[in-house]
Chain A
């Protein structure tokens, strides 16, 4: 089945130690997203790739970076995690066909713990 896969499902890191979360998709969608979701809060868009074009949200801290080496993979790099970065990180994809159709397909998420 076509899907969005995130690895690992659970990640523990130390304060200030860089960490990378990964996302892959078999849907061949051209848009990939990273969301941060804290407990009892809405998923918050960090950035997205529209094809190869990177689009950062204005309020996303510089501590968060992303890479998309090819259509199928997208990475979230947190350069110096702080305690406030502990959250669930969701990857999503959509197929943008120019008409605003934007159903997003989500991965299971990676729960990040910062010690």
Chain B
């Protein structure tokens, strides 16, 4: 079974700082990769996804993620965070092909200080 590791459990940044959240997965085959975000008091929503093609994926609100197959990684980045980016971020992985369940990481809480 696949698993997902998010090494940073809690990140605190000042506004305008750059962000990189790590995500590694353990499955040797072809995968679909996701980042979900949960703003305070709101439901989980998709930030971006990778299925195939360009390994650099751009999502909403200026976020991007890069799939590095050799490192089994899908790190999330944003050049300049805003206070409104304060949220919890979940990385998720799914085996490709047919119907496969999605496995989530434990999440990273991002706190952006004005």
Contact = CB atoms under 8 A, between A and B. Distances in A.
Interface residues of A, number: 24
Contacts of B76: none
B110 interface: no
A89 interface: no
A82 interface: no
Nearest to A31: B99
Interface string A83-111: 00000001010001010111111111100
A98 B98 contact: yes
A2 B106 CA distance: 28
B90 interface: yes
B98 A108 contact: no
B42 A108 contact: yes
B75 to A, nearest CB: 18
Contacts of A100: 32, 51, 94, 96-100
Given A42-B107, A43-B44, 20 more contacts: A31-B99, A40-B9, A40-B107, A42-B4, A42-B103, A45-B102, A98-B98, A100-B32, A100-B96, A100-B97, A100-B98, A101-B51, A102-B32, A104-B46, A105-B46, A106-B44, A106-B45, A107-B43, A108-B42, A108-B43
Interface of B: 4, 9, 32, 34, 36, 42-46, 49, 51, 90, 94, 96-107
